[in-house]
Structure 1
Amino acid sequence: MTKKATIYDIAREAGVSTATVTRVVRKDPHVKEATRLKVQQVIDAHAYSPSISAQNLEGGRSRTLAVVLPVISNLYFNRIFDAAWWEAEKNGCSLRLFQTMENQAISPEIVNELIRCRMDGVLFAGSIWSEDRGDLNTALEKLGKYMPVATICPPDVSLDCICIQSDLVNCSRLPVRHLHTLGHRRIAFLGGSMHSKDTSRRGVGFLEQLRMMDLPDDPAYHVDAGYDMESGERAVLRMLSGLDRNRWPTAIVTFNDLVALGVMKQLKKMGLTLPEDMAIIGCDNQFFCAYTDPALTSVDLHPEEMAQSAVRELLLARESSSRSFAMVREATLIVRESCGVHLGFRKL
């Protein structure tokens, strides 16, 4: 079998540089006609077809964006990665994934690998650093010297970069306002970790809305519970076990939809009917919300739109000197059955 010609073979036979071969392949109008014909003749003779990576590297770019997130198995981050992948693909770029694992700071190894691979940009997703954000700002500052940097949701970033955030404070106000219109006065918040900026900001919005509506702010109604279904089961059991029945909340807002699933499972095991005995509102609007029993009301943070915007801004920043951009995406309450909207207003 004849060995496939490389870009170096074509350049050598045509008597030009590899950069000129690349410009001919890309139909660069600035290549002289005589040179183009000479190179094209060699290309045709060898049926040369350049690899995408060869074209990209010859042009000084990898045509690859990096996404750094905690864990791809998390449904929320999976949605971010999928949307970023499709947006990058649409623009002729590929995507490379780096995971820090849950609640771990970015490592110097990841930073150095991003630089070594000559990424065209990097997107950080999620509050993957603790309340001490020194590691994040140091990493962003170093990377910003080599490539455009975008973040989705990490607050308190001191470096100028592409910063796209959910309105995490308002995303906890929405369910409180909605539940109040349905007659609820004792509303609990379960899930997350108070060491997380995401949780603390949502907690701020939740408490502010309670106070604005003159609703009771009972410390027993706030349980630091984690992020998965098992956490939801344990948290609601712990909360209700420590309260007299007449002090039980009539509604629960959870950090995410997985926690809400655990809460719903435990409440049913305890013999409660949902939403008649307890209304539930989750967050993230995951695909399964429409299929739970009852269907789960949830706050949509629009992670897909944020990821698409981040990729678009990274690609724009690659072509310009400006690498600073800020956007806050408003959350939306998706009303289904679990909040009890179909029951109408009740004096609870």
Structure 2
Amino acid sequence: MRVTIYDVADKAGVSIATVSKVINNTGKIRDSTRQKVWNVMKELNYQPSVMASALTGKSTETLGLLVPDISNPFFSELARTIEDRSHEQGLSVIMCSTDDNEEKEKKYLELLQRKQVDGLIIASSFNDRNLLKQLVKQNIPLVMLTQDDPSLGVTCISVDDFSGGFEATSHLLSLGHENIAILAENTSSSKMRIFGSRDAYETFGLTFNDSRIIRTTASVANGKNCLDHILEYNPATTAIFACNDQLAIGVLQRAKERGIVVPDKLSIVGFDNTILAETTVPSLTTVAQPIKEMGSKVVDLILETIKKQVQPKERILYNPELIIRETTSKCR
């Protein structure tokens, strides 16, 4: 159970009012008593940021959402779905973009706790897992989204990245492409997508070459730079599997700038199936994640966790779907 202000008062041998005065730095209290209360709060891992909520016992009807990059269309679409579903349930959402920065992660977690949110949705990869473990230890309602971490002992919702990588690469191999470059991020999801690609090569009786993997961060600009690198160091490449749509779109734009006809001279597959995938010319072949289903489900689960005050330990894995459009064709 979550530690409450009553536990602090009992452990410190003082009244609840005294603990409240220490928290809010009000009233005349001996320094020794004040220090004793703070020591107990530290011992019980009781954060001042959540104390007001524990004291009043009231719900703020607010959820906290952490994403790595709100400019990424996948996360912006996911956040919109979460907000819409929360609104249907009478809740508000405070969203923070961490930029995969450890300092920002800590800062925003502290902010959300000060705002006394009822529960947290973590869609960011998160560098300092100890911060999340502390939240779990306090039994603060928490659900991981797009990030699967069994060590936390909380519910994780994600897509089957291994299957998605397998389907994307199998599609290209079936078209006769063998020299396929892979653009990936330094994330667990990209890692699983690469494993899926490797398995596809083995299934087709071919050898997977790790030198074809280029690791970068998700942006259109980086997708452009990656194609420049590929054309310089591996000009025999006939296809590219990008582990997200942003990188794929960057490749597509650079190919057009360099006069490379897609898909006649270069086939491209992305991952996510964001709204941008349908608006490119030619339209992007990509692996779809069920964004609306995942966003709605995570809100329903966090509400269930808040209501029952028990941290469930489910692993929900959605199946991705390969959407074949106009950026892939037979290898010529």
TM band (smaller chain): 0.7 to 0.9
Amino acid of the structure 2 residue aligned with 1:79: E
2:237 aligned residue: 249
Structure 1 position 256, deviation (Å):
1.2
Partner residue of 1:127? 125
Deviation of 1:120 (Å)? 1.4
Q: Deviations over 1:306-329 (max 9, x none)?
A: 121111011111121432122011
Structure 1: distance between partners of 2:112 and 2:259:
52
Displacement, 1:164?
A: 0.6
CA gap of 1:111–1:102, structure 2 versus 1, over 3 A, is closer
Given residue 182 of structure 2, which amino acid in structure 1 is its aligned partner?
F
What whole-Å deviation, never above 9, does each CA across 1:137-160 have from its counterpart, x for those lacking one? 432432552531001122334122
The equivalent of 1:164 in structure 2 is 157
Distance 2:107 2:211 in 1: 42
Give the match's secondary structure for 1:96.
strand
Q: Encode CA deviations 1:26-48: one digit per residue, 9 max, x unaligned.
A: xxxxxxxxxxxxxxxxxxxxxxx
Matched, 1:218 2:209: yes
- Please tell me whether the aligned partners of residues 122 and 143 of structure 2 are also in contact (alpha carbons under 8 angstroms): yes
**Structure 1 residue 73: Cα displacement:** 2.1
Alpha-carbon contact 1:162-1:314 (below 8 Å) kept:
no
- Whichever residue aligns with residue 65 of structure 1, its letter is L
**Structure 1 residues 148 and 66: CA distance shift in structure 2, 3 A:** same
Q: Secondary structure at the match of 1:127?
A: coil
Output the CA distance in 1 between the equivalents of 2:65 and 2:199.
34
Tell me if structure 2 keeps the 8 A contact 1:69–1:128: no
Displacement after TM superposition at 1:176 (Å): 1.1
Percent sequence identity is 25
TM-score, normalised with respect to structure 1: 0.73
Query: What secondary structure sits across from 1:282 in the alignment?
Result: strand
Q: Distance in 2 between matches of 1:347 and 1:227?
A: 27
Q: Is the 8 A contact 1:140 1:149 kept in 2?
A: no
Secondary structure of residue in 2 paired with 1:198:
helix
Q: Hey, what does 2:265 align to over in structure 1?
A: 277
- Contact 1:296 1:338 survives alignment (8 Å): yes
Cα offsets for 1:89-113 (capped at 9, x unmatched): 1011111112322343664443333
Secondary structure at 1:189 match in 2? strand
User: Cα–Cα, structure 1 residues 328 and 106, in superposed 2: closer, same or farther, change >3 Å?
Assistant: farther
Q: What SS does structure 2 have at the residue aligned with 1:158?
A: helix
After TM superposition, the score normalised by the length of structure 2 is: 0.76
Give structure 2 stretches of 5+ with no counterpart.
1-54
User: Does 2:300 correspond to 1:312?
Assistant: yes
Runs (5+) with no aligned partner, structure 1? 1-56, 130-134, 341-345
User: Structure 1 residue 166: deviation in Å?
Assistant: 1.4
What does 1:58-137 align with in structure 2 at a 5 Å threshold?
60-104=58-102, 107-129=105-127, 135-137=128-130
- For the pair 1:331 / 2:329, whether they are aligned, the reply is no
The answer to whether the 8 Å contact 1:161/1:323 transfers is: yes
Distance verdict in 2 for CA 1:268–1:107, change over 3 Å: closer
| 2:219 is equivalent to residue 228 of structure 1 | yes
Tell whether the 8 Å contact from 2:183 to 2:216 is kept in structure 1 after alignment: yes
Give 3-state SS (helix, strand or coil) of 1:118's partner. coil
The residue aligned with 2:50 is none
Alignment check: 8 A CA contact 1:191 1:231 kept: no
| Amino acid across the alignment from 1:150 | V
Q: Could you tell me how far 1:83 is from its partner in structure 2? A: 0.7
Q: Which amino acid aligns with 2:196?
A: G
Equivalent of 2:194 in 203, 207, 218: 203
> What secondary structure, in the 3-state scheme, does the structure 2 residue paired with 1:277 have?
coil
Q: Could you tell me which amino acid in structure 1 is paired with residue 132 of structure 2?
A: A
Amino acid at match of 2:89: N
| Conserved 8 A contact 1:282-1:296 | yes
Match of residue 293 from structure 1: 281
Q: Of 164, 181, 192, which aligns to 1:188? A: 181
Larger deviation: 251-260 or 102-111?
A: 102-111
- Structure 1 residue aligned with 2:134: 141
- Distance verdict in 2 for CA 1:167–1:137, change over 3 Å: farther
1:112 partner SS: helix
Most deviating of 296-305 and 215-224: 215-224
CA distance in 1 between counterparts of 2:272 and 2:101 reads 19
Match of 1:178 among 156, 159, 171: 171
2: distance between equivalents of 1:260 and 1:59? 48
Which stretch shifts more, 215-224 or 322-331? 215-224
Rounded Cα–Cα distance in structure 1 between residues aligned with 2:57 and 2:309:
18
CA distance in 2 between counterparts of 1:230 and 1:62 reads: 40
Q: Contact between 1:111 and 1:139, CA under 8 Å: does it hold in 2?
A: no
Cα distance 1:123–1:145, how it changes in 2: closer, same or farther (>3 A)? same
